[in-house]
Amino acid sequence: MPLEKPSSKLVIFNEFENVGVEFTNINNHFCGELVLSGLASMCLCSEEWQNWFSVNNVFMQVNKHTFELAKLEVANTRPNFHFYYISKIGESQPQQTTAMMKLRAANYFDSGADTLRCLNGQIPENWSDWFSKTAYRMKPTFYDSRIDTDLEPCCNEQRFCNFWQ
């Protein structure tokens, strides 16, 4: 599955055990990231990354044969935020889970506390645990031998990137 351009943030919902996601480009430059159970995000705020990404196509795939990545279509969200979820091959996602993912995506913050504040009690009480989860920040390092450099998509060294909060 190709990473969409332009992109400011990539978010992956994972209702299963931890799953590895592999990122490659056409030159087979490879890196991987572990998507923990819950929510993972990758901020794409680094100017160096954006310049490299503008001329390179990047693909991602799950490294387990029983799972796949699926695009979560969300009508009202921040520009250039792209949402995906991990699903079992051949199984459909429960409607309640899909509804929760779409609501979280439409009101997206990496921080679960900020998400709950934004929703201001407008969710059923039994959903609050799911919405209070804070996203794990993915920060894979790409190496491009043509330009002999390591590229990290986020320029912020903290656990959360405030650039798009």
Q: Averaged over 41-53, what is the pLDDT?
A: 85
Residue 21 belongs to a domain: yes
Per-residue confidence band for 155, with pLDDT thresholds at 50, 70 and 90: confident
Region 27-32: mean pLDDT is: 76
Model pLDDT for residues 114-143, shown as the tens digit of each residue:
988 888 877 888 888 888 899 988 888 887
**Structural domain includes residue 102:** yes
- Which band of pLDDT confidence, cut at 50, 70 and 90, is reported for residue 69? very high
Residue range 138-160: mean pLDDT, rounded: 75
CA angle 72, 165, 62 (to 5 degrees): 35
Name the pLDDT band for 66 (thresholds 50, 70, 90): very high
- Does residue 4 fall inside a structural domain? no
Range of the domain at 34: 9-164
Q: What is the pLDDT of residues 80-103, one digit of tens each?
A: 899 999 999 999 889 989 999 999
In a domain, 94, yes or no: yes
Residue 1 located in a structural domain? no
Given a cut of 80, whether residue 165 has pLDDT beyond it is no
Q: Classify residue 79: in a domain, yes or no.
A: yes
Q: How many domains does the chain have?
A: 1
